[in-house]
Amino acid sequence: MANDDKYPVESDRRRFVKGVVGGAAISGALATGAVTVTSTTTPTGGGGGIMNYFGANRTLGPAPRGLPQIPMEITDDGELAGVWPEPESETLGDGTEFVRSAAEIGGVEYTTEWFQYCGLQTFEGIVPDNTDEDALFRYDAGVYDWMDEVDGGDVMLTEHFEDYDDWTTQIGDPDQGKPATGTWRSEEVPAEETIPILVIKTDQLDFDAMDERTRDWMEAACPEDEDGGRYIAYVYKCTHFCCVPGYRSLAGAPDFGADNKIYCNCHNSVYDPFDIVEDQFPSLPRPEDS
């Protein structure tokens, strides 16, 4: 197996901390808020094991699995952020040290190793102890008209989603919620390593229909706003061949029953953003595991 087919070991990376106040602040907040950092977790996925994660159910097309979810938090200033657990050093049996970000959220072990696809695992922003990046969500250029009100690079704020139950567009039904596209942990990285995200504020999540494990996860991972709407976020790269899909933004979506779903027009895969499933994939082994 070639080395680039393995999960990178990050412990030898040297990070220059640029005094990113927001990054430090939110890192601390995320580690001590609703999230409990697991300091004793074993390196799940090492050796090419099975990695479980939560994501948007793939309902059609060649994509092999669901679109991975990013658990979220809202800061005291109304900023939207993805959970980036405090990185911790771990040691494998042969003495090799590596750094891992993992936390228990709603009874589920969340780790940034969920994002081992499309080469994301090699992106600078996914390096667990990369302190150049904070955990805040930021807008990109946007595909929705409403995003003319914000600038690319602005931090996503709850105040921009207050009209979530009124928002609509030409594709799909009203009352689905309000979406935004953006980036995560990509401020200081090369353009080709930008991590695209989709965020939706919605009241379409049917907690009563979820099994207990999924409900506990979702209640912890999808923060509720003061008006009762909840936020849900995804890494916005198709699990098939890594295209950035569209949610209520691509004209071809209705042809595939995807009016209210996430639609990838590269090869017509569809994901339901409000049908959350626990999915899995064979994780990449660390170099020393093979």
Question: Nearer to ligand FES by C-beta: 34 or 243?
Answer: 243
* Rounded-to-5 percentages of helix, strand, coil across the chain: 20, 30, 50
Q: Are 219 and 235 in contact (CB under 8 A)?
A: no
Tell me the closest approach of the beta carbon of residue 161 to ligand FES, in angstroms: 27
Q: Which of 137, 199, 135, 188 is nearest to 164 (CA)?
A: 199
Measured CA distances, 140 to 83, 121, 182, 183 (Å): 19, 21, 4, 6
Distance of CA 94 to the CA centre of its chain: 32
The torsion angle over the Cα atoms of residues 286, 83, 278 and 289, rounded to 10 degrees, is 10
Question: Nearer to ligand FES by C-beta: 61 or 128?
Answer: 61
Tell me the closest approach of the beta carbon of residue 201 to ligand FES, in angstroms: 25
Tell me the closest approach of the beta carbon of residue 250 to ligand FES, in angstroms: 11
Question: Nearer to ligand FES by C-beta: 30 or 235?
Answer: 235
- CA dist 17 and 243 (Å) reads 32
Q: Are 71 and 110 in contact (CB under 8 A)?
A: yes
Question: Nearer to ligand FES by C-beta: 131 or 265?
Answer: 265
Residues that bind ligand FES (CB under 6 A): 61-63, 238, 240-241, 243, 264, 266-267, 269
Question: Nearer to ligand FES by C-beta: 29 or 60?
Answer: 60
Distance of CA 267 to the CA centre of its chain: 22
- CA dist 232 and 146 (Å) reads 18
Question: Nearer to ligand FES by C-beta: 210 or 243?
Answer: 243
With H, G, I as helix, E, B as strand and everything else as coil, classify residue 54.
strand
Question: Nearer to ligand FES by C-beta: 75 or 239?
Answer: 239
At 215, give phi and psi (nearest 5°): -65, -45
